Amino acid sequence: MMLEIEGLFESHLTVGDLDRSMKFYGEILHLTLAHYVPDRRVAFFWVGSPGNAMLGLWETGSGPQRLCLHIAFKMRMDEVLASVAALQLAGTAPLDFDGEPTSEPVVLGWMPAVAVYFRDPDGNLLEFLAMLPGPPRPELGAVAWSGWPDQAD
């Protein structure tokens, strides 16, 4: 018998400075602190409403070896579209699919989804993403929002 997975509940990132990261995820991304264990240098944040999904941040220290990870946060389309300006206002550079600074979201044609990428203080690649209506258009690749032909859908 195969078990059915309903979704992803929890993800974890390693960070070099937990206090700095708690400020970023709490004040910039407005995630709600769920639990903090100062002795273990770990903090858990609710993603969305409590009990919906969780992000754990684990401090690893200041060693020279870094592992950059990637997670995407699901949002409404209007929020993703507004996130470029919100990130800029917060002093965080919005990035396109290739990791270059951008002034607009990108559309991933194979899904299709609209997305904005950015980095946390430790260099982890974060993403705001909203699925778009309509069929996938993989032949278009990743295109700027202004170049997506199905914007009116």
Which pLDDT does position 64 carry in this prediction? 63
Residue 63 pLDDT more than 90?
Answer: no
2 found inside a domain: no
- Residue 57's domain is classified under what CATH number? 3.10.180.10
CB atoms within 10 A of CB 27: 10
Number of structural domains (the chain) is 2
The answer to the question of residue 33 being in a domain is yes
pTM, full prediction: 0.87
CB 129 within 8 A of CB 115: yes
List, in sequence order, the alpha helices (H) in 9-120.
18-23, 77-89
User: Quick check: is 117 in a domain?
Assistant: yes
CB 70: neighbour CB atoms within 10 A? 11
What pLDDT is attached to residue 43? 96
Is residue 1 a part of any domain in this protein?
Answer: no
Q: Is the pLDDT of residue 140 over 80?
A: yes
3 — pLDDT class (breaks 50, 70, 90): confident
Average pLDDT on 66-76 reads: 89
For 38, residues 6+ apart whose C-beta sits below 8 A from its C-beta are none
pLDDT for 77 beyond 90: yes
**Parallel, antiparallel, or unpaired for β 10-15 and 70-74?**
unpaired
Asked, for residue 3, whether it belongs to a domain, the answer is no
Q: Are residues 89 and 43 in the same domain?
A: no
Domain assignment of residue 134, given as a range: 68-153
